Amino acid sequence: MEQEQQEQWDVVLDFTSDASLSEDLAFDVMERLGEYGAVTAFDIGGTKGSVVLGLNAPSVVEALVSARSAVEDAMPGMQLTVLSAQVFTQDEFDRMVHEPLYPPVVSNAEIARMAGVTRQRVGQLVRSKSFPKPVIMTEHAKLYAKSAVEAWLAGR
């Protein structure tokens, strides 16, 4: 009998628990799931959590079933309700984790170069009602989505 071809999967399980989640439990679960390279994210003191783990399985369905079973075994005595589950091939997961969380952003100085104006003029432009809202605000600067600024500049 031929053995089924195994593929590497990364599974993300989001769940609620019938009991409060703690920092100690998060570390215990990662340790218990060490063979899967597991990472946990728990709402400490709350009941929501996520676990990401990598495993080998012949199909996406078997990967999901195995992951759920492993997480439940790592949290004995707790009733878990899976809220969402995502299963990725290793290549898909690698691409996803290397994508930036934010879109490319630009500062006032970069907007000045894009628009061919001074930074002082950009200060006036960003105060107009039609200018895109900043997507990131730091102590020293506001950053704008580059694509929104480009579209705004094209339409003015």
The model's confidence at residue 156, banded by pLDDT at 50, 70 and 90, is confident
DSSP 86-99: EEEEHHHHHHHHTS
pLDDT tens-digit series, residues 55-85: 999 999 999 999 999 999 999 999 999 999 9
Asked which of 4-8, 33-37, 46-50 is least confident by mean pLDDT, the reply is: 4-8
> At residue 3, does pLDDT exceed 70?
no
Per the document, the length of the chain is 156
pTM over 0.85? The answer is: no
CA gap 44, 24 in Å, rounded: 9
Strand positions, DSSP E, 18-156? 39-42, 48-57, 80-89, 105-106, 136-137, 142-145
The mean of the pLDDT values for the chain is 93
Residue in this structure with the two tokens 């218990």, named with its chain if needed: 32
How far apart CA 29 and CA 36 sit, in angstroms, is: 11
